[in-house]
Amino acid sequence: MRVLILHMRYWPEATGTGPLVTELAEDLAAAGEDVVVVTSVPHYGLPEIPAEFRGGLIHRALKSGVTVYRTLAPVAHVGSALGRGLDYAAYTVLASLAAISLGPVDIILCVAPPVTVGFSGWVVGFLRKCPTVFNAQDIWPDGLISMGRIHNQVLIAVLRRLEQLVYRTSNRITVVSEGMRKNVLSKGVAAGRVQVIPNWVDTERIHPVEGPNPFRNELALGESFVVLFAGNVGYAAGLESVLAAAGLLRGEPRICFLIVGEGSAKADLLRAAEREGLTNVRFLPTQPSGILSNVLGAGDVGLVPLREGMGAVS
């Protein structure tokens, strides 16, 4: 079976949904499927596009049995709302063109956000006469509205029409939580077309660590009580509440807050921590996947925060 996966994030991006989609594609390929991924050049959470991915509209490579096509990204402007919009639009157009040129496929998996990837899936699925599965890691535009990222009513209306188009034209819709399923059902989608498939973790690679922790020792945390967040430092996580807690506990020298990862909210959080003089908060970049067990094991308490109102959309 030839499987086409459309998603903006893929290896070597180590933050967000990139690792998840990479694992899925490579496991399908290892199981004997013919897997093709159309993604963007790596740039999420990175200061610049790696040299080997620069130049040209489309890059093609074979990795771990998966054929990977990468589209150009206007990375220079991706930090602003306009830049992100251009980034999503560029991927939607280029991914559609690249996918159409691949020839016949048996099934298409579209992983969102952005919701526009569902439009690409609809176009390719219509032309290739094949079924499409839309996997929503976040619900758009609801999530953007809840985070206060968009306010323009015209843009919201356009995104809602696009959301309805994607739901109507996808053969199946998968979401990662029951709250998200209820959200989709509330928009008129038949229950039989929506399924909850939680995200997974590779327990052979990520497991409890016993004994001395090299990562904790490297950071010289000593006897500190470490409050740890490790993951996508995006607006949906609502990490402002973690900084507020750190402010309340700044008089407790043994308590250290550790935020590990990259994401769209990190720059704002760094500025806020500096402005408030939060010396008990440390920020670290995304760590290599090979030491993730040690990273997670470095915390005495692990945080999985979510901004208020995001439970049904992210």
Q: Would the pLDDT of 77 be above 70?
A: no
Domain residue ranges in the chain = 2-196, 214-302
pTM: 0.85
Tens digit of pLDDT for each residue in 189-238? 999 999 999 998 888 888 888 888 999 999 999 899 999 999 989 888 89
Lowest mean pLDDT among 59-63, 86-90, 285-289, 292-296: 86-90
Tens digit of pLDDT for each residue in 133-163? 999 998 988 888 877 778 889 988 999 999 9
Q: Would the pLDDT of 264 be above 90?
A: no
Strand partners, 88: none
Contact present, 221 and 256 (Cβ < 8 Å): yes
Judge if 2-196 and 214-302 fold alike in CATH terms: yes
SS (H, E, C) 240-295: HHHHHHHHHCCCCCCEEEEEECCCCCHHHHHHHHHHCCCCCEEEECCCCHHHHHHH
Right CATH number for 2-196 from 3.90.230.10, 3.40.50.620, 3.40.50.720, 3.40.50.2000? 3.40.50.2000
pLDDT of residue 312: 67
Mean pLDDT, the chain, integer: 90
Which fold, 214-302? Rossmann fold (3.40.50)
